[in-house]
Structure 1
Amino acid sequence: MTGPGMYLCRLHDIADGGARGFDPRGDGRDTVFVVRQGMRLHAYRDDCPHVAGAPMAWRKDAYLNGDGSRIVCSAHGAQFDIASGACTLGPCLGQALARVALAIDGGGGIWVTGDV
């Protein structure tokens, strides 16, 4: 499949209000995750700013708190605003997740268009 970058999945493959991790470079671990809120997608590197290289999810695709209102780091309990990636609670206050640029094609395909 060809497009504007690295293909991740189709929009309907991510549940509304849910999150999903991806391994677009084929490294054997998720390096990007996407949170879906309706038709809005928020993508970040799967890397806590508190400790470089620390994955965010405590298990596959488990990036959000219980009510789905915040992104949570499994290693430190830090909480992040979904829309901005800013840390709102925890050891990395004043820091933010690294945003990843996405594009959605006419068929609903989601593509990473920036660095991962």
Structure 2
Amino acid sequence: MIRLCAPNELTEGQSRGFAVAELKLLVVRREGQVYAYQNRCPHRGIPLEWQPDQFLDHSNSLIQCATHGALFLIESGECVAGPCSGQSLKALSCREDADGIWITD
């Protein structure tokens, strides 16, 4: 398991990016649940954010690719709009406890 951060370092409605060895990933907290994905758009294989830790659209309800505007559901990673519609972000197993948010893959 790899510890990403303390639980209080990812607030409700917030997204953060991390690099673990060669793996770039993003985590989002929505309705108290933490979701983790590879930071890689399925359309072009490029990172999603336009600025550090900026992965969400203006409403903070969808993950957005800054390059082509593709929109992904936070809960599943499924692309619901844009050039990769029907594809999904690669989900990573994660868990949270009092000591941190962890990637378990």
Which TM-score band applies after superposition, normalised by the shorter structure?
Answer: over 0.9
- Aligned counterpart, 1:73: 65
1:111 paired residue among 84, 102, 105: 102
Aligned identity (percent) is 38
- Aligned counterpart, 1:20: 16
Q: Is the 8 A contact 1:87 1:94 kept in 2?
A: yes
- Distance in 1, matches of 2:29 and 2:76, equals 13
Shift of 1:103: 1.8
- Distance in 2, matches of 1:73 and 1:8, equals 22
Choose between structure 1 and 2: higher strand proportion. Answer: 2
Letter in 1 for 2:94: L
Shift of 1:38: 3.2
1:34 paired residue among 10, 20, 27: 27
Shift of 1:108: 3.9
TM-score by length of 2: 0.94
Cα-Cα RMSD: 1.2
Q: Is the 8 A contact 1:8 1:111 kept in 2?
A: yes
SS at match of 1:12: helix
TM-score by length of 1: 0.85
- Distance in 1, matches of 2:80 and 2:56, equals 14
Structure 1: 4+ residue segments shifted above 4 A: none
- The answer to whether 1:82 aligns with 2:82 is no
Greater Rg over alpha carbons, structure = 1
Q: Which runs of 5+ in 1 are unaligned?
A: none
The total of aligned residue pairs comes to 105
Q: Which aligned pairs between 1:26-65 and structure 2 lie closer than 5 A?
A: 27=22, 31-52=24-45, 54-65=46-57
- Distance in 2, matches of 1:108 and 1:85, equals 26
SS at match of 1:36: strand
Letter in 2 for 1:10: A
